[in-house]
Structure 1
């Protein structure tokens, strides 16, 4: 029986968390030169913000890195009792994509993990075998059953409303570098059966600088069961204008399972975040919803306050926390890309 047939589903991100899982950055191919050390202060502020409301599970590559982290926790006044450190060899930091997908069954009070396959966004960044093994390692650590669908799937490519709908992009899920043997309808069947949803909603593409082939967590996110915030670019000369406007128009036509039209709130893009002549995929949509608040990347830009205000209107039940991410974004991802939540049941 599939997880869906057993009553399991992937809950919305605002569902209460037991913990949030991170894979501690150590790969200087992602943050080249001095950029890895430079991003650590922002990363520890991220850990600190999450830890105010839940445990933080840290996958750490080796004992040397563990020693460094423990020293830094004290330096940043992070409560070490809120941090669970596991020595798990990894290739890179993007836990949203290679980490465990936790499902819950509220009827039986059980949880399980989906062990999706991971190939570093179509084989772009080998090796990735250690990252691909991580869900099984965490399932064993938590004592949870896991199921292996044997297809490629990344957590950043899907976003859930917790009421049967998932939002995704054609440019990623239908890319031949992931599952070339599957049609769109077959991929939808996997998504529904293994995430426990009823409806797949499709936009087309992603933003400039995103090497994941268009992950949804840079462009559109559910903020409640019937509402999404959609990244928009108002400068018609910007490279992102056309694709984001196209996605916006598609979402305005979408209807949910209950027949209601999807409520779409526009979320402006930051000014282009360019580092060493490279345009990074800076976006306010790459926020993490956790117990302590909604952690939003900011980019030293006039739209920072605009985005934080819009998101504060969307989330009345928890604070919206803006954290500087200009050094983190060089790695081509931000707070949502770096994290994967573990829900309570």
Structure 2
């Protein structure tokens, strides 16, 4: 069993990988706005965030335009890569302490929903580009399905990890044994369902996140029509009754959700302030058009990150692809 724990996201970082929207056939009319939103994120990370950005393009056509776009930004490296889409949190490796190691898993397109070329090669590409040897594990897992406190506690959801479209026959015990071996997990806190209409089958990084040792943020419904109100309250109830690997009772920080965000057909889509991204000097929070909810979410995060700049940044176009800032990124711990 590995003795290397996965660092918490707030641990010092030497770099942040970000996926660049590269495929017009996927993003269609949302491509330009999605690129603008990712550009704003990259500039925030390389500037106020205080971290080097490794921006991976997904095909040759996107490479030179990306280089030109960020030519004026210090601390941004454009990396030629190949991927199906930008969700590096799920397709990339999970780095260990000091980025001395990295773990990669079987990727099956989020339970077979989106089987895109080269996504199953992303972890190896990032490992090669970063100079870190990849340790392969023979079970299916996306990085957005697990969250870490840096001390051996892992947050996850049954809806995703125990879904039969991932690892047939998995139980909580089987998953915990796999997480212990691959991620140094000492304790797993099991949540139930994720957000409504989340095509990841309920990734935890849209639902609940460690923000400090023994402290987990999760949403509270904003507005009477929030479709995830019951899920949020059940999540908070489970967390409040839980302890971490060190035996500390979990403290719960409730953060206002964006409220109901719907697609052009009026169907709720999984917009979440929980998809914030923590870096060395900043926390970048995705926003979805509700300025009051966004301001309140940022104020809540400022209570646990008083020394970080809290940066709200639009993410509506990225959300049309199914995720946000945390989903398109992956940190290399220092």
Which TM-score applies when normalising by structure 2?
0.94
Checking the alignment, whether the CA contact within 8 Å between 1:235 and 1:241 is kept in structure 2 is no
Equivalences for residues 303-318 of structure 1 within 5 A: 303-318=293-308
The separation in 1 between residues aligned to 2:201 and 2:26, in whole angstroms, is 17
**Which runs of 5 or more structure 2 residues have no equivalent in the other structure?**
none
2:164 aligned residue: 176
Of 87, 100, 125, the residue aligned with 2:114 is 125
Equivalences for residues 209-288 of structure 1 within 5 A: 209-233=197-221, 235=223, 237-277=225-265, 278-288=267-277
Checking the alignment, whether the CA contact within 8 Å between 2:16 and 2:332 is kept in structure 1 is yes
Per the TM alignment, residue 26 of structure 1 is displaced from its structure 2 partner at its CA by 2.1
1:14 aligned residue: 10
Q: Per the alignment, do residues 237 and 137 of structure 1 end up closer, same or farther by CA in structure 2, a change over 3 Å counting? A: closer
Per the TM alignment, residue 25 of structure 1 is displaced from its structure 2 partner at its CA by 1.5
2:333 aligned residue: 343
Per the TM alignment, residue 217 of structure 1 is displaced from its structure 2 partner at its CA by 0.7
Equivalences for residues 39-118 of structure 1 within 5 A: 39-52=34-47, 53-74=50-71, 77-79=72-74, 82-104=75-97, 111-118=100-107
The 3-state SS of whatever aligns with 1:229 is strand
Q: Per the alignment, do residues 58 and 152 of structure 1 end up closer, same or farther by CA in structure 2, a change over 3 Å counting? A: same
Checking the alignment, whether the CA contact within 8 Å between 1:288 and 1:335 is kept in structure 2 is yes
* 2:33 aligned with 1:38: yes
The separation in 1 between residues aligned to 2:247 and 2:115, in whole angstroms, is 44
Of 299, 316, 337, the residue aligned with 2:288 is 299
Per the TM alignment, residue 259 of structure 1 is displaced from its structure 2 partner at its CA by 2.3
1:134 aligned residue: 122
Per the TM alignment, residue 85 of structure 1 is displaced from its structure 2 partner at its CA by 2.3
Count of residue pairs brought into register by the alignment: 330
The separation in 2 between residues aligned to 1:308 and 1:143, in whole angstroms, is 35
The separation in 2 between residues aligned to 1:153 and 1:266, in whole angstroms, is 27
Q: Per the alignment, do residues 120 and 86 of structure 1 end up closer, same or farther by CA in structure 2, a change over 3 Å counting? A: same
The separation in 2 between residues aligned to 1:283 and 1:182, in whole angstroms, is 28
Equivalences for residues 152-163 of structure 1 within 5 A: 152-163=140-151
Q: Per the alignment, do residues 38 and 251 of structure 1 end up closer, same or farther by CA in structure 2, a change over 3 Å counting? A: same
Checking the alignment, whether the CA contact within 8 Å between 2:58 and 2:80 is kept in structure 1 is yes
The 3-state SS of whatever aligns with 2:320 is helix
The 3-state SS of whatever aligns with 1:200 is strand
Which TM-score applies when normalising by structure 1?
0.91
Per the TM alignment, residue 234 of structure 1 is displaced from its structure 2 partner at its CA by 5.3
Per the TM alignment, residue 170 of structure 1 is displaced from its structure 2 partner at its CA by 0.3
Checking the alignment, whether the CA contact within 8 Å between 1:17 and 1:290 is kept in structure 2 is yes
Per the TM alignment, residue 181 of structure 1 is displaced from its structure 2 partner at its CA by 3.6
Pairwise CA RMSD: 1.6
Of 297, 318, 325, the residue aligned with 2:315 is 325
**Which runs of 5 or more structure 1 residues have no equivalent in the other structure?**
none
Q: Deviations over 1:195-219 (max 9, x none)?
A: 1120000110111231100011111
